[in-house]
Amino acid sequence: MTTNFSTVDDYIESFPPDVQALLRELRAVIRAEAPGAAESISYGMPTYKIAGKPLVYFAAFKKHIGFYATPTGHAAFAADLAPYKQGRGSVQFPLGKPLPFDLVRRIVAFRVAERA
């Protein structure tokens, strides 16, 4: 799989249809909560920034969708994210289980408020 995507659409379209649907919905949630955020590809994944500073990132993998709301988004929602596998500044939402879009919405809103 290529990692040199020029747009988020290119990134999403590189995955199977079922994963594409999840990524499109995740993207829509982020864009609804952060309408002023600039969308780009950074570190090979969809990235959203406000005033040039990272807001959130996401990436699809074989068995999960990674969501990155660093540095503070994960700490602020630690209890809500506890059921999911986590790494430093990341959380993994397993494919095959419903994605917690409402939780993502709340995290993005939190990050937008931080940037305001």
pTM over the 0.85 mark: yes
Q: What is the dihedral of CA 60, 22, 13, 84, to 10 degrees?
A: 0
Chosen CATH of 8-115 out of 3.30.930.10, 3.30.70.20, 3.30.565.10, 3.90.1150.200: 3.90.1150.200
Per-residue pLDDT of the chain (116 residues; tens, 9 = 90+): 456 899 999 999 999 999 999 999 999 999 999 999 999 999 999 999 999 999 999 999 999 999 999 878 999 999 999 999 998 889 999 999 999 999 999 999 999 999 88
State the Cα–Cα distance between residues 70 and 4, nearest whole angstrom. Answer: 23
**Could you state, in order of their start, the residue ranges of all structural domains in the chain?**
8-115
